[in-house]
């Protein structure tokens, strides 16, 4: 099992448990982490206009192989997500301390997955 499959499996398992526990904050955080991984695997598109008669046709003609993420890529994604939440928590500290605390909790949730990628 590759690193991305291992992390994705753990995220999905924990997401199902969070949903059973009705822990919407944790579930939202885990969904966001899964989405970040999916977005990182997406293949960049060349957005260009063209004549419809030049479009490829047939089943699977628009399919593209997704990028494969390595352990370093996954670690960088999680670190970026954690950093983003901590930075936002600092910004919200004086205006909305409850929201800042929630963002810090999300960062801690994601940090647990980062330790698996060592």
Closest Cα partner for 74 from 36, 27, 24?
36
pLDDT > 90 fraction of the chain, expressed in percent and rounded: 64
Q: How confident is the model at residue 62 (pLDDT cuts 50, 70, 90)?
A: low
| Tokens representing residue 29 in the block | 């955080």
CA of residue 103 relative to chain centroid, distance? 15
- How far is the C-alpha of 24 from the C-alpha of 20, rounded, in Å? 10
Instruction: Please give the pLDDT value at position 48.
Output: 58
- How far is the C-alpha of 21 from the C-alpha of 31, rounded, in Å? 15
Q: How confident is the model at residue 66 (pLDDT cuts 50, 70, 90)?
A: confident
For 15-29, what is each residue's pLDDT tens digit? 999 999 999 999 999
- How far is the C-alpha of 65 from the C-alpha of 86, rounded, in Å? 34
Instruction: Please give the pLDDT value at position 65.
Output: 76
């Amino acid at each position: 099992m590759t690193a991305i499959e291992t992390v994705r499996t753990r995220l999905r398992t924990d997401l199902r448990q969070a949903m059973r526990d009705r822990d919407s904050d944790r579930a939202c955080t885990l969904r966001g982490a899964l989405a970040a991984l999916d977005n990182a695997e997406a293949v960049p598109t060349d957005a260009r206009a063209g004549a419809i008669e030049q479009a490829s046709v047939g089943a699977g003609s628009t399919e593209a192989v997704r990028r494969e993420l390595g352990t370093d890529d996954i670690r960088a994604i999680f670190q970026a997500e954690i950093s983003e939440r901590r930075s936002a928590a600092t910004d919200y500290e004086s205006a909305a301390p409850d929201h800042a605390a929630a963002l810090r909790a999300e960062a801690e949730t994601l940090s647990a997955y980062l330790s698996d990628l060592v």
